[in-house]
Amino acid sequence: MESALIFLDPNTDLSLQAHIRQKMVEAIVSGVFPVGKRLPSSRKLAEQLSVARNTIVLVYEQLIDEGYVVSRERSGIFVNAKFLEGRVGFDGNLVSERRESANWSRVVRRQAVHKKQFETPPNWQRFPYPFLDGVFDQSLYPAKEWREASRQALTIGQIKQWASETGGADDPMLIEEIRTKILPRRGIQASSDEIMITVGVQQALYLLSNMLVDSTTSVAVEDPGFPGFRHVIEHSGGRVIPIDVDDEGMQVTPAARRADIVMTTPSHQIPMAVTMSMPRRHELLASAQLNDQVVVEVDFELESNYLGKPHPSLKGLSAEDRVIYVSGLSKLLAPGLRLGFIVAPKEVIKPLRRLSSLMVKHPPLNNQRTAAFFLSLGYYDSFINQLHREFERRWIALRRAVNYYLLPFVDVAPAQGGTALWLRVSDDVDVGYLAQAAAARGILIEPIGDYFADQQAGQNYFRLGVTSIPEERIREGVDQLRDLIESVSEERVESLADAQGVRLSGEEIISRLAGKTMLCPIAYGDPCAIDIQSDGQLNGKAGYANEDCDSGEWWIEGSYWCRRWTRWAWGEAGRYHVVLLDNVFKLFDEQGRLIDQGILVNSDTLATTSEDDRLQATNWTKTQALSGSNA
């Protein structure tokens, strides 16, 4: 179909020729006629516009004179690339001159909350070290399986089913897969009319806020917590009540008890990755019952608790019908697909469906059916398993690297899993600047001030995520980040050159270290004890219950103390200068950078030391290391 590319206005005051010229110029300047594309011939354009051919010939002659177009022998008339070059801002995206227009800023009555500090750059995949959370590097995407599921959903018979379904109904096949394959893992039993599909978790949150929240509603949310919660609540006019999170999850404070609605992420607190303890879950549910609250439970990451067993969801635990469960498929399959779901009582699902119908009718049915096949073909199970194994490897690699390189610079929030670590730098570092400077070096880190109700509270935090970065890049990225943080921080971390204390020679190292135990902090807060046995063996125990143990060997090379672990520190040999200040030891690498610091005790003394004393000792050295002060 050859359609007219310009339309004439019969009411114009211009002559026909001038008017056509004007329209042609507009079309050229706005890029409707792209550079390199042949313009319609004068004969054709005359036909389309129902004007005499000669009129068009004259217009074209004028445009050639003016330099808008060029005529090429035997090929036709083209937009003049040179003319455009002089005017184009970037990538050929042309905007015609501003015309008189409505006063848009006055016209807009309602705007989305917009105070996000950090936006993932669209080209993040080109960065060598993208430490992001929730965007996925290409290697993870189950392309083959998704194509197979798509192929199934694209057979003629299937297309006829999903292409013609109407009335806001979700794909019954997907609902059934979610009901029987996904929900039981979370301990949730639901009938199909208690489940609805949404355009990602985001739409689920928007729908619930729109329905449940108005200016009379107070909603308790975790602080720090997912900023999207606050945004949708505020957009609906509700009052946000920030509630602190501790290592058992969201607290059940008096303020939380007074809220109308409690929004929480128990399986994996966003952003702290704490899993809510069972006692806390029961406390929260009991409070909800007592205070007649609605609980909105959001499960961004299904079961990514690497270090413990998954707990059942609040929805599954609740003896009552007052929990609304929200989760998504899309983040796990691919962010582009946008499929989430809500599990709630029928009385809630019904008006939610009507609201969703007003907003978007329904999520695309082809994707619903494809996801249903993805689940029913069994790809989901193996994909989730594979993702978990991969993220676990990456997450542990991240902890290792942070511990080795960043120990003197950061505090790490405790976490039992998830796909990110959450770091705090010293007060003098501007995290926004740090993120910019890091990006300039190819490292993407995420400031997370907007996770806090009071952005000031979070201004020294950033997040390192692993969903986006292959395992083999993690160490190098963290190493490079260290250099940057060191250069940015005004607080001085000791280097070998200005280290306080006595630098030991090889012989001195043997006599002072052999038979001793090093008590060291680990970046992520666990205690660690390393026995330096006289026979050259090393024994390391980390964690509150010694859950992470390793063995290795140590030796002397000149004035270096050398060690190699089986697994720790990548199983690589490391050569360190040792500086001693009373019973505080400091290890500097060959570049003179502080790598480790702690106190030395006699191995046999330690056996009689109480656990509390040991913890105190590690905490003390941790504070030391971070403040950079001497003992």
* Contact positions with its own copies (CB under 8 A) in 135-164: 135-138, 141, 143, 146-147, 150, 154, 156, 159-160, 162-164
Q: How far is the CB of 43 from its own copies (least distance, A)?
A: 19
- On whether the CB atoms of residues 298 and 205 are closer than 8 A, the answer is yes
* Among the residue ranges 132-140, 239-247, 430-438, 557-565, the one whose residues contact its own copies (CB under 8 A): 132-140
Q: Do the beta carbons of residue 58 and residue 13 sit within 8 Å?
A: no
Question: Can you tell me the distance from the alpha carbon of 551 to that of 226, in angstroms, rounded to the nearest whole number?
Answer: 40
Contacts of its own copies in 380-399 (CB under 8 A): 381-382, 384-385
Whichever of 341 and 561 has its CB closer to its own copies, that residue is 341
Tell which one of 72, 86, 101, 611 touches its own copies (CB under 8 A).
Answer: 101
Site residues for its own copies, window 33-92 (CB under 8 A)? 34
Q: Cβ of residue 377: shortest distance to its own copies, in angstroms?
A: 15
Among 51, 70, 94, 484, binds its own copies (CB under 8 A): 94
Backbone angles phi, psi at 158, to 5 degrees: -70, -45
Q: How far is the CB of 493 from its own copies (least distance, A)?
A: 35
Residues between 183 and 202 with contacts to its own copies, criterion CB under 8 A = 183-185, 187, 189-194, 199-200, 202
Q: Give dist(CA 39, CA 326) in Å, integer.
A: 53
DSSP readout, 342-375?
EE--HHHHHHHHHHHHHHHSSS-HHHHHHHHHHH
* Nearer CB in complex with its own copies: 101/591: 101
Quote the CA–CA distance of 254 and 525 in Å, as a whole number: 30
CA nearest to 268, candidates 239, 225, 229, 238: 225
When the beta carbons of 123 and 610 are compared against its own copies, the nearer one is 123
Q: Which amino acid is at 81?
A: A
Asked if residue 235 binds its own copies (CB under 8 A), the reply is: yes
**Cis before 224 (ω within 30):** yes
Q: Are 190 and 343 in contact (CB under 8 A)?
A: yes
CA 186 vs CA 25, 203, 321, 355, 461: distances in Å: 61, 21, 16, 27, 31
Q: How far is the CB of 405 from its own copies (least distance, A)?
A: 27
What separation in angstroms does the CA of 317 have from each of 182, 188, 311, 531? 16, 8, 9, 45
CB-wise, 419 or 597, nearer to its own copies? 419
d(CA 519, CA 584): 10
User: Closest Cα partner for 427 from 490, 487, 480?
Assistant: 490
Residue type, 95: V
Cα-only R_g, the chain: 32
Pairing between strand 69-72 and 76-79? antiparallel
**Using CB under 8 A, which of the segments 341-349, 389-397, 458-466, 563-571 binds its own copies?**
341-349
Binding mask 214-233 for its own copies (x = CB under 8 A): x-xx----------x--xx-
Q: How far is the CB of 105 from its own copies (least distance, A)?
A: 7
For 263-300, b/e burial (b = at least 16 CB within 10 A) is bbbbbbbbbbbbbbeeebbebbbebbeeeebbbbbbbb
Cα–Cα distance, 145 to 368 (Å, whole number): 15
Which residues ranging from 428 to 447 are in contact with its own copies (CB under 8 A)?
none
603 lies in the binding site for its own copies (CB under 8 A)? no
Outline where 414-543 has alpha helix (H): 431-440, 471-488, 506-513
Ranges within 449-478 binding its own copies (CB under 8 A) = none
Considering the complex, state which of residue 350 and residue 566 has its C-beta at the smaller distance from its own copies.
Answer: 350
Give the number of other Cβ atoms within 10 Å of residue 447's Cβ.
23
Give the C-alpha separation, 320 to 344, whole Å: 11
* Interface residue with its own copies, options 110, 545, 572, 591 (CB under 8 A): 110
How many angstroms separate the CA atoms of 482 and 528, rounded?
22
The binder of its own copies chosen from 76, 312, 525, 543 (CB under 8 A): 312
Nearer to its own copies, 172 or 506 (CB): 172
Q: Return the residue of 72, 74, 87, 114 that touches its own copies, per CB under 8 A.
A: 114
Least separation in angstroms between CB 273 and its own copies:
21
Q: By CB under 8 A, is residue 484 in contact with its own copies? A: no
List 13, 97, 292, 535, residue binding its own copies (CB under 8 A)? 292
Nearer to its own copies, 189 or 537 (CB): 189
User: How many Å apart are CA 507 and CA 608, to the nearest integer?
Assistant: 29
Report if residue 6 touches its own copies, rule: CB under 8 A: yes
Torsion of CA 207, 229, 200, 131, to 10 degrees: 170
Min separation Cβ 365 and its own copies, Å: 3
Give burial (CB, 10 Å; 0-12/13-18/19+) of 426: middle
Joined together, the tokens standing for residue 527 give: 């205690």
CB of residue 203 to its own copies, shortest distance in Å: 5
Selected from 65, 97, 119, 604, the binder of its own copies by CB under 8 A is: 119
Nearer to its own copies, 261 or 407 (CB): 261
Total interface residues for its own copies by CB under 8 A: 129
Question: Per CB under 8 A, does 355 bind its own copies?
Answer: yes
Is residue 345 a contact point for its own copies (CB under 8 A)? yes
Distance CA 127, CA 114 (A): 26
For its own copies, the binding residue among 36, 74, 75, 93 (CB under 8 A) is 93
245-284 residues near its own copies, rule: CB under 8 A:
260, 278, 282
Q: Which of 18, 26, 81, 582 binds its own copies (CB under 8 A)?
A: 26
Among 84, 360, 484, 562, binds its own copies (CB under 8 A): 360
Residue among 268, 322, 399, 622 that touches its own copies (CB under 8 A) = 322
Closer Cβ to its own copies, 351 or 571, answer by number: 351
Residue from 15, 30, 537, 630 binding its own copies (CB under 8 A): 30
